[in-house]
Structure 1
Amino acid sequence: MRDIYIVGAGGHGKVVLDIINKSEQYQAASFLDDDSSLHNETINALKVLGGFKEVLNDDKAVIIAVGNNKIREKLFKIMKSNDLEIINAVHPDAVINSFVSMGEGIVIAAGAVINPNAFIEDNVIINTGVTVDHDCLIEKHVHLSPGVNLGGNVTVQRGAHIGIGAAVLPGINIGKNSVVGAGAVVTKDVPDDVTVVGVPAKIHKS
């Protein structure tokens, strides 16, 4: 099995470690995290070796385990610019149709279901129990939180974050960098760079 680094030793890192531990392709060599207070600590039986730049001096593959979209995007771009191999981490209990297309650096957690002709771009998190129905497009650096349900033909644009338990009706477009609050039901298109909450979801004005 191929050794890999898990970049990010927080809560999402623990989830990714569990996925890797169940993998037949990879084994985790160590966590990397820029929080120096974690260096040389052991988290769920895996050591935190040092900061993420450690990977630049090694030939191991990596998976980014950071929930924050902007930080994850920054790390992804650095690693791509250094020609690192960025793997997908897919839990064996996820159900992915054979006609799904996927990029790289994707995390798919336990219980996720991705239906035919969905397209998942690079560096996306599809968290525990998410359903992505047919013909959806999930663009780069998106995070779908646990329990999100997307109807068919939904587009989630680059950098958007959909909160726990939210539902998006078929054919809806979620704008880039927008946030859908936990438990929201999205019944119409969401513009770029806004937060929507509630049932039905409406733009939240702070």
Structure 2
Amino acid sequence: MYLYGASGHGKVVAEIAEENGYHINAYIDGDVLKKKMLGYPVLHKPPQENIDIVISIGNNRIRKNIVDENTLFNYVTLLHPNSSLSKRIRVEEGTVVMSGVSINAAVTVGKHCIINTNSSIDHDCVLEDFVHISPNAALAGSVYVGEGTHVGIGANIIQGIKIGKWCTIGAGTVIISDVPDGSTVVGNPGRIVKITEL
């Protein structure tokens, strides 16, 4: 297995891979100054072959670009053994679920998502592709999160909310009403401070 991205996030992903018994061949990273991380070599371009890979980069947009440019990779899903996952969830390829995460029944998590440390996702939530749920964020039941949205650390989203695509939910924000595509939302209660056209 290869990890695409040799940064702090890549260290955490590597340890989840190790916990799951994967052999890590190397990191892949475009920064030519990076030579090794956690004892693993850093390559500066992917091998010319069909490889097992996890994208270990926190930025949602960058993960999407890598997937769009590398259609032959076999994307692996990593689930930390110290997460609490209902047997009735669906987690798509390339997604990483970190330690302490709780995901309850009937949740769907899309491709290449990050469900970060100690976050909580309750029943019947849907997360589209390339979503990042930050540490200690909490989603109540039946929340919908659109593609590419980043939910910041410690944010809280009440039940039944729909959050659009490519939104940014600030750290500690409390979401009590639906959020349109491209919105940046902060505060308690959450208020839209910017909308970026998609």
Please state which band the TM-score falls in when normalised by the shorter chain.
Answer: over 0.9
Q: Does 1:14 align with 2:14?
A: no
Match of 1:35 in 2: 31
Match of 2:68 in 1: 77
Unaligned runs of 5+ residues in structure 2 are none
Q: How does 1:1-150 map to 2 (within 5 A)?
A: 4-24=1-21, 26-38=22-34, 41-51=35-45, 54-55=46-47, 57-79=48-70, 81-82=71-72, 84-150=73-139
Amino acid at match of 1:69: N
Distance in 1 (alpha carbons) for counterparts of 2:173 and 2:63:
24
Distance in 2 (alpha carbons) for counterparts of 1:150 and 1:100:
15
CA drift of 1:205 comes to 4.2
The Cα offsets for residues 71-90 of structure 1, whole Å up to 9 and x where unpaired, read as 100111222x22x2100011
What is the DSSP-based 3-state SS (H/G/I as helix, E as strand, rest coil) of the residue aligned with 1:63?
strand
Tell me the number of residue pairs that the alignment of Structure 1 and Structure 2 aligns: 195
Distance in 2 (alpha carbons) for counterparts of 1:35 and 1:89:
25
Distance in 2 (alpha carbons) for counterparts of 1:181 and 1:164:
7
The Cα offsets for residues 8-47 of structure 1, whole Å up to 9 and x where unpaired, read as 00111111001011113x2211100011111xx2211111
Identity of aligned residues (%): 37
Unaligned runs of 5+ residues in structure 1 are none
Distance in 2 (alpha carbons) for counterparts of 1:205 and 1:148:
21
Amino acid at match of 2:39: A
Distance in 2 (alpha carbons) for counterparts of 1:13 and 1:200:
33
Q: Which runs of 4+ in 1 moved over 3 A?
A: none
CA drift of 1:58 comes to 2.7
What is the DSSP-based 3-state SS (H/G/I as helix, E as strand, rest coil) of the residue aligned with 2:23?
strand
